[in-house]
Amino acid sequence: MLQSRHKVILYHILFWITYSSIFTFVEGGYSNKFQNAFYIEVVYLPFRLVVVYLNFFWLMPKYLLKRKIGLYMVLTIFTIIIASFGHRYTAYYHTNAFIFPGWEQGDFWQAYKFLQSGMIITSPMIFLIGLTIVAKWVSTERRAELLEKDKLKAELGYLRSQINPHFFFNTLNNLYGLALQKSDRTAEVVMKLSELMSYILYEADREHVPLSKEIDQIERYIALEQIRYENRFKLDFQIDGDIDQFQIPPLLLLPFVENSFKHGVNKDSQEGWVSITINVNESEFYFSIKNKIPALKEKDNSDNNGLGIANTKKRLELLFPNCHSLECNETKELFSVTLTITRTDNEG
């Protein structure tokens, strides 16, 4: 904290040295009297400091930044008038005779002299106030951006926390059914479920994972469903493209797969089928899943129905605004989902 304060003081000192040097060089260049120009700047400097720092530490925070613009303007003009009078008095009665040998006093109350003093004193204040306002604006914009990012992370975390229990609720129901049947494959299901749990516990909090990892989890889930339904359905799973290079938010596709099996496969029928297509190219990611809706499939009216897809839609809106397309279509015999994500430079 102390080191930071020392840096600020050093920056201010450097600013005044640079500012006074520039005006000494400019003013001295006209008459080729750089020494006189330096003395003039020295006389102006204390009045500039008073006006600038009175404004910087008191008037700006108390009035300008609180949008009391009228009062701020009145008080600022008042301080400039007082500083102009102080400079005029100092120059007229004390320093002009030293700086300009043979100088003859004129009328002290010449209006343009006061105006000239006020303008010269005010010039650095205008620069610093403008710089401060820009810095405040940048800081406010950055703070708003950080708050927006925090809000986005919180909302995404909330959506993920809803998806995970929902997924486990359905999978544990499957395991419960096998246990009731005293199936020999119960141990296999527990093992595959533990692999899925490991992925969700250790990978799901990451922003992105390789698409290949997400596909691994889809395949594990399908294996669980094949055990559950004893292969009473047909599966077509096609993958094309470099799935190791493309990055995807974890658990983005699994809810769609889960939904297809939940509503597209029936223990009492062998007519069910699920078709999955994943394609990655240089410009976009394409995912499609379709399932037949069995005629004997009972309608699920539970509160959890469609929760995974609803949350995934919200995640897509937050993660890929204006660069994704999601279509869900349903007929009496077919349900399909098509997701397209336009690839950007920071993906894959």
User: Closest Cα partner for 115 from 78, 88, 79?
Assistant: 88
Model confidence band, residue 304 (pLDDT cutoffs 50, 70, 90)? very low
* pLDDT at position 237: 95
Of 127, 144, 161, the last residue of a domain is 144
203 & 79 share domain: no
* pLDDT at position 86: 87
231 & 86 share domain: no
User: Closest Cα partner for 327 from 313, 314, 347, 315?
Assistant: 313
Residue 153 lies in a domain: no
Those residues with Cβ within 8 angstroms of residue 274's Cβ, 6 or more apart along the chain or in another chain: 233, 234, 235, 236, 257, 260, 261, 264, 265, 289, 290, 291
Lowest mean pLDDT among 101-105, 257-261, 302-306, 315-319: 302-306
Residue 110 lies in a domain: yes
Letter string b/e over residues 121-155, b meaning 16 or more CB atoms within 10 A of that residue's CB: bbebbeebbeebeeeeeeeeeeeeeeeeeeeeeee
| Average pLDDT of the residues in 161-176 | 64
* pLDDT at position 172: 74
190 & 133 share domain: no
Take residue 273 and report the two structure tokens written for it.
Answer: 């089928």
Lowest mean pLDDT among 61-65, 145-149, 229-233: 145-149
CA distance 104 to 97: 8
User: Closest Cα partner for 252 from 288, 224, 219, 214?
Assistant: 214
CA distance 139 to 323: 29
Task: Give how many domains the chain has, as a whole number.
Answer: 2
Of 88, 122, 144, the last residue of a domain is 144
241 & 329 share domain: yes
137 & 199 share domain: no
CA distance 203 to 252: 12
Could you list the residue range(s) of the whole structural domain that residue 262 is in? Answer: 183-342
CA angle 326, 257, 214 (to 5 degrees): 90
* pLDDT at position 303: 44
Q: How far apart are the first and last CA of the chain?
A: 42
| pLDDT tens-digit readout, 20-66 | 888 788 777 766 777 877 888 888 888 888 888 888 888 888 887 78
Question: Has residue 165 got a pLDDT over 70?
Answer: no
Model confidence band, residue 144 (pLDDT cutoffs 50, 70, 90)? low
307 & 211 share domain: yes
